Structure 1
Amino acid sequence: MTDLKLPQLPYGSWTETRVTIHLILQIMGKTRLGLTHRKNHWWFITIYVSARGFSTFTIPLDKGLSSLEIELDVLQKAVTISHSEKGTTQIKLESGLTVAHFYKRYMGEISKLGLTPKFIPKPFDMGIDKPFEELEDYSSFDWNAIRRFWQLMQWNNSIFKEFSGRFYGKTCPVQIYWHHMDLAVTRFSGKKLPPMDKSVRISDRDTYSHEQISCGFWVGDDTIPEPMYYSYTYPSPEGLDKETLKPESAKWADSNGSPMALLSYDDVRSLPDPRQAVLDFLESSYLAGAKLSGWKVKELTTPSLKDV
């Protein structure tokens, strides 16, 4: 494993491109939200790592008789809109193409398909107040950085799927939540929690309706400006931050008053077996929360086929 060449992705090295791509992924995700029947915990709005980039995967249309797929195609440097009956169109993503211009062209193509997805046409949780159609300041496409980001998300996608397969209980798909652009997978104990107060935004009320342990990877933010793995237990049990994490460089940090397990991607890159290091982090942080929360860990562990 020492010859594994994982890509570098310093947080500050692709800021303008990162924000531009983030906005485009939000537009894709909001389109899926506006065209898809509701599924628990907002699993109907997410996007996925694909063989060519990032995709909504199939969105059923016309009572299931046709379908739509939208993909940010890293290889073609374009957003591809594919309709099962009406063909495919592409919007090339070239430097100088603003998010505003992209959005207008994109919605025009969606309209030509006879579709009118309903969603709030402005960024969510990005600290940007203008609607998409007015975002003239974002037009950067560093395709070397975008490709490294995609490669890294592909690698993590494969690890998270392996980890996900070890759990026999309710678990979400390995998916990208576009509000933070993080790849995540969540396990549930099956215990329903008391409903949150109506003053809490609806996205959180639905997300945190049941006891869960969530882990993921994101490319960093202004609070933690580097790519990072994370894991948290909700609700957080007493003493969680005293539990041992693997590998040794993993640590507990405060996140809005609750412990969050963190592991730096740069630390992972320096280890002899990066894949195993990430799996160890996911497993140790899960067991820490599951043990203290009283989960039936043995019953929730996927048995080998000989034991089925």
Structure 2
Amino acid sequence: METEKLPALPFDEWTETRVTVHLLLQILGKTRLKSTTRKNHWWYITLYVTPRGFGTYSIPINDGLDSFEMEFNIKRKAVIISRSSGEDIVLSLDNNPTIGDFYNGFMAELHGIGVYPKFIDKPFDVGIEKHFNEITEYHHYDWKYINTFWKLMLWNSNVFKEFSGRFYGKTCPVHIYWHHLDLAVTRFSGKKLPPMDKSARILEKESYSHEQISFGFWVGDTNVPEPMYYAYTYPSPVGVDEESLQPKGAFWQDSNGSPMGLLRYEDVKNSTNPRKALLDFLESAYQAGAKRAKWNIDELTVPDLDQL
């Protein structure tokens, strides 16, 4: 069966739509953050790629007797709040609401089902200091690019899941961290690290409590204005950037004083076998970090079934 060609996602052609979608997903993510019981490494705040768009999965309410979930449903051009009891609540995006108008309507619907998430009602790490209900300049929904973004994230999610299944150790779900809008999966060696300095943000203290190798994809930002794959080992072992990366075109680059492996999405998209190209990058970055950090690679590798 011939593989469908991966879509182009030019960074500069959907800037306003990208920011609108990012802000909308931050609202869903912050709601999940304050409505869900804690799980290690912030795994309880993330979003997931679904067959319809981006969602939270089930969130318990009413002492666990009921639940609800939120989904940015691209097929229906709406944010849908589904409940275990009661009808779905549909907030249409077809009329291009501003972020402020969406936020007000969204919160009113949550209050109507008894959900009162008390989060900081401002965007996080995107350079916008307004409250969500004050943001009127973003109301852009280019559904061609939103659909392309979702399809690309869906494909990446599926490849990341295949890669994730090769590892016996602790691994996070394949999920979206909404503050940077990156899809990520992380492997852990099991080694606990010394506590960070008190000046470190709680975000980093919780995220980097244990030795890890993380892999991800993001659609770009002002510093890297194109879609890109990344991988890094924390703490970064000496000489990791002397290890080779695959496929041809992958490279090491300094990121805040530590090497990060990078691979342009364009190189994956234009390769003869995109899935293999991405898997080769993920595996080579893992081998580089695990080797230099002295992980027990053989013990942590899942063998093929015929090798059991």
Same fold at TM > 0.5: yes
TM range (shorter): over 0.9
Q: What are the residue-to-residue correspondences of 1:9-48 with 2, within 5 Å? A: 9-48=9-48
Matched-pair contact (CA < 8 Å) for 1:95–1:141: no
Q: Which residue number corresponds to residue 260 of structure 1? A: 260
Matched-pair contact (CA < 8 Å) for 1:74–1:146: yes
Q: Which residue number corresponds to residue 52 of structure 2? A: 52
How far apart are the structure 2 equivalents of 1:47 and 1:37?
Answer: 15
How far apart are the structure 2 equivalents of 1:304 and 1:270?
Answer: 29
Q: Per-residue CA shift, 1:124-172, capped at 9, x if unaligned?
A: 1111111101101110000000000000001001000000000000000
1:144 equivalent in alignment to 2:137: no
Matched-pair contact (CA < 8 Å) for 1:2–1:273: no
How far apart are the structure 2 equivalents of 1:304 and 1:273?
Answer: 22
Q: What do you get for the CA RMSD once the two structures are aligned? A: 1.1
Uncovered stretches (5+) of structure 1, i.e. residues with no partner: none
Secondary structure at the counterpart of residue 299 of structure 1: helix
Q: Which amino acid aligns with 1:283?
A: E
Q: Per-residue CA shift, 1:70-90, capped at 9, x if unaligned?
A: 000000000001111122111
How far apart are the structure 2 equivalents of 1:51 and 1:2?
Answer: 21
How far apart are the structure 2 equivalents of 1:126 and 1:230?
Answer: 20
Q: Which residue number corresponds to residue 86 of structure 1? A: 86
Q: Which residue number corresponds to residue 122 of structure 2? A: 122
Q: Which residue number corresponds to residue 183 of structure 1? A: 183
How far apart are the structure 1 equivalents of 2:189 and 2:181?
Answer: 25
Secondary structure at the counterpart of residue 46 of structure 1: coil
Q: By how many angstroms is 1:303 displaced?
A: 2.5
Q: Which amino acid aligns with 2:225?
A: P
Q: By how many angstroms is 1:65 displaced?
A: 1.1
Q: Which residue number corresponds to residue 98 of structure 1? A: 98
1:292 equivalent in alignment to 2:261: no
Q: Which residue number corresponds to residue 230 of structure 1? A: 230
How far apart are the structure 1 equivalents of 2:122 and 2:197?
Answer: 26
How far apart are the structure 2 equivalents of 1:233 and 1:40?
Answer: 19
TM-score normalized with structure 2 length:
0.98
Q: Which residue number corresponds to residue 132 of structure 2? A: 132
1:171 equivalent in alignment to 2:171: yes
Q: Per-residue CA shift, 1:212-248, capped at 9, x if unaligned?
A: 0000000001000000000000000111111100001
Q: Which residue number corresponds to residue 276 of structure 1? A: 276
Q: Which residue number corresponds to residue 208 of structure 1? A: 208
Secondary structure at the counterpart of residue 261 of structure 1: strand
Q: Per-residue CA shift, 1:32-59, capped at 9, x if unaligned?
A: 1011000000000000000100000111
Q: Which residue number corresponds to residue 304 of structure 1? A: 304
Secondary structure at the counterpart of residue 82 of structure 2: strand
How far apart are the structure 1 equivalents of 2:303 and 2:267?
Answer: 32
Q: Which amino acid aligns with 1:235?
A: P
TM-score normalized with structure 1 length:
0.98
Matched-pair contact (CA < 8 Å) for 1:86–1:113: no
CA 1:2–1:245 in 2, change beyond 3 Å: closer, same or farther? farther
Q: Which amino acid aligns with 2:206?
A: D
Q: Which residue number corresponds to residue 162 of structure 1? A: 162
Equivalent pairs, count: 308
Q: By how many angstroms is 1:91 displaced?
A: 0.8
Secondary structure at the counterpart of residue 254 of structure 1: strand
Q: Which amino acid aligns with 1:80?
A: I
Q: Which amino acid aligns with 1:125?
A: D
Q: Which amino acid aligns with 2:201?
A: R
1:74 equivalent in alignment to 2:71: no
Q: Which amino acid aligns with 1:300?
A: L
How far apart are the structure 1 equivalents of 2:198 and 2:241?
Answer: 30
CA 1:122–1:3 in 2, change beyond 3 Å: closer, same or farther? same
Secondary structure at the counterpart of residue 126 of structure 2: coil
How far apart are the structure 2 equivalents of 1:76 and 1:3?
Answer: 26
Q: Which residue number corresponds to residue 248 of structure 1? A: 248
How far apart are the structure 1 equivalents of 2:261 and 2:2?
Answer: 25
How far apart are the structure 2 equivalents of 1:307 and 1:37?
Answer: 40
How far apart are the structure 2 equivalents of 1:95 and 1:127?
Answer: 26
Q: Which residue number corresponds to residue 218 of structure 1? A: 218
Residue identity (%): 60
How far apart are the structure 1 equivalents of 2:107 and 2:121?
Answer: 11
Q: By how many angstroms is 1:115 displaced?
A: 0.9
Q: By how many angstroms is 1:259 displaced?
A: 0.4
Uncovered stretches (5+) of structure 2, i.e. residues with no partner: none
Matched-pair contact (CA < 8 Å) for 1:95–1:139: no
How far apart are the structure 1 equivalents of 2:289 and 2:55?
Answer: 32
CA 1:95–1:141 in 2, change beyond 3 Å: closer, same or farther? farther
